[in-house]
């Protein structure tokens, strides 16, 4: 009897095999939200999305349910879904969560890092340098951190951190130009700590990385518009 391994949500999301229209819709809508193409508070009518994606409303419903679970979409019964709003308070909470979760993952992951992982980190650093738009940069940035964390034997925590980082990405994109430069040098230090197999040092660097990211973000977002750019007078 061959025993098929359970596929986690994360594994499914990464592999494009066996993809259904629902998963495809999820990915597309998620990207539009993280990229800001769909502004916070925008209405997400099922029919409109279905037409835009060339599918029926059912896969769109699946996608909206999934994204609601990820915290990117807000659902209300019998009413249109909308893109989850942004707020300074939410940003603070998200960074607090990252500060709690990412350092322990570092400590667990560093002793298990392989040469291939270090190479992946270097590759993502280059991708960040070569990135042309904020979304590319954020994707490489997440891949850099994921290359570390995924070695930690804590699948749930890794997936959770991944989701949380995805939520902070919506804020990061707005303050992108401020973050990128300071992040670069910090990333280099992190790579060095990973190479030297220093869990405590990497953990401390990550904490500082998170704190500095939060600070720059906060100073920049303090007077920025977090609500919808008044496309259709905002949703609700």
Partner DNA sequence: GGTTCATGAAATGTATACAATATGCCACCC
Partner DNA sequence: GGGTGGCATATTGTATACATTTCATGAACC
Confirm or reject binding of residue 21 to DNA (CB under 7 A): yes
Figure out which of the listed residues 3, 14, 78, 89 binds DNA, where binding follows CB under 7 A: 78
3-class DSSP assignment, residue 73: strand
Confirm or reject binding of residue 182 to DNA (CB under 7 A): no
Distance CA 73, CA 236 (A): 14
Q: Are 119 and 108 in contact (CB under 8 A)?
A: no
Token readout for 119 is 């190479």
What binding mask, one character per residue, do residues 58-77 give for DNA by CB under 7 A, x or -? xx-xx------------xxx
* CA-based nearest residue to 50, from 58, 42, 38, 41: 58
Figure out which of the listed residues 27, 28, 36, 45 binds DNA, where binding follows CB under 7 A: 45
Residue 205 binds which of DNA, its own copies, none (CB < 5-8 A, kind-dependent): none
Q: Which is nearer to DNA, 79 or 208 (CB)?
A: 79
Residue 68 binds which of DNA, its own copies, none (CB < 5-8 A, kind-dependent): its own copies
Figure out which of the listed residues 7, 8, 11, 48 binds DNA, where binding follows CB under 7 A: 48
Distance CA 74, CA 164 (A): 16
Confirm or reject binding of residue 161 to DNA (CB under 7 A): no
Distance CA 214, CA 220 (A): 10
Token readout for 213 is 């990211």
């Amino acid at each position: 009897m061959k025993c098929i391994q359970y596929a986690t949500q994360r594994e499914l999301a990464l592999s494009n095999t066996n993809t259904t229209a629902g998963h495809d819709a999820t990915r597309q809508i998620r990207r539009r939200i993280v990229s800001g193409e769909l502004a916070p508070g925008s209405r997400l009518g099922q029919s409109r999305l279905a037409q835009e994606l060339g599918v029926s409303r059912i896969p769109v419903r699946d996608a909206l349910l999934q994204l609601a679970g990820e915290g990117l979409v807000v659902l209300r019964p019998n009413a249109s879904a909308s893109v989850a709003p942004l707020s300074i308070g939410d940003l603070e909470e998200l960074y607090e969560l990252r500060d709690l979760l990412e350092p322990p993952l570092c400590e667990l992951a560093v002793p298990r890092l392989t040469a291939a992982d270090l190479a992946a980190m270097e590759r993502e650093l280059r991708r960040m340098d070569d990135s042309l738009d904020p979304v590319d940069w954020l994707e490489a940035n997440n891949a850099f951190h994921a290359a570390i964390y995924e070695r930690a034997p804590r699948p749930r925590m890794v997936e959770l951190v991944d989701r949380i980082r995805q939520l902070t990405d919506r804020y990061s994109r707005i303050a992108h130009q401020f973050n990128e430069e300071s992040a670069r040098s910090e990333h280099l230090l992190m790579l060095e700590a990973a190479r030297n197999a220093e869990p405590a040092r990497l953990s401390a660097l990550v904490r500082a990385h998170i704190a500095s990211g939060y600070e720059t973000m906060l100073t920049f977002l303090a007077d920025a518009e977090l609500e919808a750019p008044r496309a259709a007078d905002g949703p609700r």
